[in-house]
């Protein structure tokens, strides 16, 4: 068996959660159960009205200020080809400083061609994601250089732990997509490890994942491997996209060579791009929310426009990642009131341009503790009430993105399942009003044994897998374990029960052949 630990011939259980099956609220956790109760895979829809902390006039003022920023100050574009694309579109380009100034007419005309929604179809079509509208999808932690669990401690990211995290994400139905690399496998060569991680993503999971966006070569490799895994030509993949990548603008106002090359390549291939400025108030933007949102918006619109100038109609997502720093230390902070507000306001801006919206649910805590939970919850509520379509880093993010944490994956998935249940519209049929129960229960009685209750008690409420609702005596008698300690016991059991999705062995062999060819081509250089 090679480095990828090729999964073959195992039964594909994805059909159990195929569209059209009744949606469960989650099976009840029974004493002695080895696996956590789960909700079914579902297309989560946010039926609630989005919050709008900014008035229509304030949103318009941010829009106008963003256009002014692009016209007067511009964006440094390090990629010569990208500058040429903007030059041909009529932008003012200074090759000496590499600054591109684009007028509002150019920007507004370019972004107008971007679709308001699109679908990404992974290897398993049952796990396709509609990106846009009221659809909401949760993703695993992405890009962490380190990994942690209670027993193993904190350590550098590695390929073995990478595969474990991918298995966990595949095992949870509430996880809809993966980041470009859930964990950085630092024990693999930097210039070729994207080939190894893509192979794992396509064989150990059957969900949407992001390709590594550092350079054109990496995104083209990911798209070609995806096409092989799906049995498609590249032309077919362009009409039915799978691949998506996140493009970060180097705030303030810098678009580097590799990111812009990846953005253009994705657009050319008809694959999806998320344009996300990394804007920390007080560090990468001026200290006020108004200034931060203006810069986020300007940088996002500039990147989105580039994709549309290359290929009008290419799928693209408006990304927001605005938070603040600790002004005493300069350390990034997440899950703050400012971060939560920015998550909501970012949704308002995305809707102003009729674009899908990416946001995040992050924490700066150094442990899976109360701080980690309240910061993640704050950010998550901002993402949900802001009508985020893709919520990055929803499970496993720690230390402000420096650590992927196994226990936090479990804690976060409990929160995500609860959020999914919260977003499920309640039923108000005639039977739901329960008048038959009143026929059985006299005043002052109880409804535990009523027929109406007995028919529904197993599925009436969301059943958590991590919370402990025992009284204090029973809790102490069972060992008095904290939430984090209970999470520590769950994820190893899930890994033991993991079964990979099935794939045609011929496609696996074709992917392996492509990888070995590309590994030889890349050699010691960059793709």
Does the pLDDT of residue 21 top 50, yes or no? no
Structure confidence by residue, pLDDT tens digits, 283-310: 999 999 999 999 999 999 999 999 999 9
Using only the alpha carbons of the chain, give its radius of gyration.
24
Residue 524's pLDDT band, with cuts at 50, 70 and 90, is: confident
Domain span holding position 185: 44-424+450-527
The answer to the question of residue 235 being in a domain is yes
Mean pLDDT for the chain overall: 93
- Cα end-to-end distance, the chain, whole Å: 27
Nearest to 304 by CA among 516, 109, 55, 165: 109
Distance CA 144, CA 403 (A): 5
Exposure string (b/e) for 175-194, b if CB count within 10 Å is 16 or more?
Answer: bbbbbbbbbbbbebeebbbb
**pTM score, two decimals?**
0.93
Helix 289-310 and helix 56-72, axial crossing angle in degrees, nearest 10: 60
Q: Does 256 map to a domain?
A: yes
Answer whether residue 36 is part of any domain.
no
366-395 pLDDT, tens digit each? 999 999 999 999 999 999 999 999 999 999
Domain count, the chain: 1
Residue 139's closest CA among 103, 104, 107, 179? 179
The answer to the question of residue 116 being in a domain is yes
Q: What angle do CA 110, 111, 116 make, to 5 degrees?
A: 140
pLDDT in tens, 237-269: 999 999 999 999 999 999 999 999 999 999 999
Residue with tokens 């496609």, as numbered in its chain: 507
Q: Are 212 and 259 in contact (CB under 8 A)?
A: no
Calculate what percentage of the chain has a pLDDT beyond 90: 92
Answer yes or no: is 436 within a domain.
no
Domain assignment of residue 362, yes or no:
yes
**Residue 37: pLDDT above 70?**
yes
CATH code of the domain covering residue 527 = 3.20.20.480
- The candidate with the shortest Cα–Cα distance to 110, out of 89, 80, 131, is 89
Share of the chain above pLDDT 70, in %: 94
Would 14 be classed as within a structural domain? no
> Do 208 and 122 meet the contact criterion of CB atoms below 8 Å apart?
yes
Residue-wise pLDDT for 87-121, tens only, equals 999 999 999 999 999 999 999 999 999 999 999 99
- Predicted local distance difference test score (pLDDT) of residue 33: 59
* 23 assigned to some structural domain: no
- Expressed in percent and rounded to 5, the helix, strand and coil fractions of the chain are 45, 15, 40
Mean pLDDT calculated for residue range 502-512: 97
């Amino acid at each position: 068996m090679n480095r990828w630990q090729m999964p073959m011939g195992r039964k594909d259980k994805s059909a159990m959660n195929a569209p059209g099956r009744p949606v469960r609220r989650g099976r009840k956790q029974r004493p002695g159960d080895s696996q956590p109760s789960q909700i079914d895979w579902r297309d989560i829809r946010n039926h609630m009205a989005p919050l709008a902390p900014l008035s229509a006039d304030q949103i318009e003022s941010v829009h106008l200020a963003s256009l002014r920023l692009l016209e007067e100050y511009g964006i440094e574009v390090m990629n010569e080809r990208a500058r040429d694309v903007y030059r041909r579109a009529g932008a003012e380009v200074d090759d000496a400083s590499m600054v591109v100034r684009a007028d509002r007419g150019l920007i507004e005309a370019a972004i107008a061609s971007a679709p308001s929604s699109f679908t990404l179809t992974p290897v398993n079509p049952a796990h396709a994601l509609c990106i846009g509208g009221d659809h909401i999808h949760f993703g695993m932690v992405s890009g962490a250089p380190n990994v942690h669990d209670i027993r193993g401690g904190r350590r550098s990211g590695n390929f073995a732990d990478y595969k474990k995290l991918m298995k966990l994400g595949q095992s949870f139905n509430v996880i809809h997509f993966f980041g470009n690399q859930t964990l950085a496998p630092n024990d693999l060569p930097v210039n070729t490890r994207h080939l190894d991680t893509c192979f794992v993503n396509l064989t150990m999971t059957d969900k949407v994942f992001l390709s590594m966006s550092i350079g054109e070569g990496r995104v083209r490799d990911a798209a070609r491997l995806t096409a092989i895994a799906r049995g498609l030509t590249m032309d077919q993949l362009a009409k039915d996209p799978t691949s998506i990548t996140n493009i970060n603008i180097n705030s303030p106002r810098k678009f580097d060579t590799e990111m812009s090359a990846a953005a253009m390549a994705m657009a050319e291939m008809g694959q999806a791009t998320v344009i996300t400025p990394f804007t920390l108030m007080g560090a990468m933007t001026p200290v006020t929310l108004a200034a931060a949102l203006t810069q986020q918006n300007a940088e996002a619109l500039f990147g989105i426009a580039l994709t549309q100038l290359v290929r009008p109609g290419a799928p693209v997502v408006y990304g927001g990642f605005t938070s603040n720093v600790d002004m005493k230390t300069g350390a990034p902070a997440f899950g703050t009131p400012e971060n939560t507000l920015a998550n909501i306001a970012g949704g308002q801006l995305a809707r102003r341009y009729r674009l899908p919206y990416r946001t995040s649910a992050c924490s700066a805590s150094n442990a899976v503790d109360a701080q980690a939970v309240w910061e993640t919850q704050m950010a998550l509520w901002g993402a949900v009430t802001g009508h985020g379509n893709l919520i990055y880093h929803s499970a496993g993010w720690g230390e402000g993105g420096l650590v992927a944490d196994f226990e936090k994956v479990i804690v976060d998935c409990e929160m995500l399942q609860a959020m999914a249940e919260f977003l499920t519209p309640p039923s108000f049929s005639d039977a739901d009003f329960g008048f038959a129960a009143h026929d059985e229960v006299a005043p002052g009685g109880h409804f535990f044994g009523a027929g109406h209750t007995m028919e529904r008690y197993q599925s009436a409420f969301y059943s958590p897998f991590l919370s402990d609702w025992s009284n204090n005596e029973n809790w102490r008698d069972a060992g008095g374990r904290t939430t984090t300690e209970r999470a520590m016991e769950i994820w190893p059991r899930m890994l033991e029960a993991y079964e990979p999705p099935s794939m045609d062995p011929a496609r696996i062999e074709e992917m392996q052949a492509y990888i070995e060819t590309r590994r030889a081509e890349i050699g010691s250089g960059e793709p």
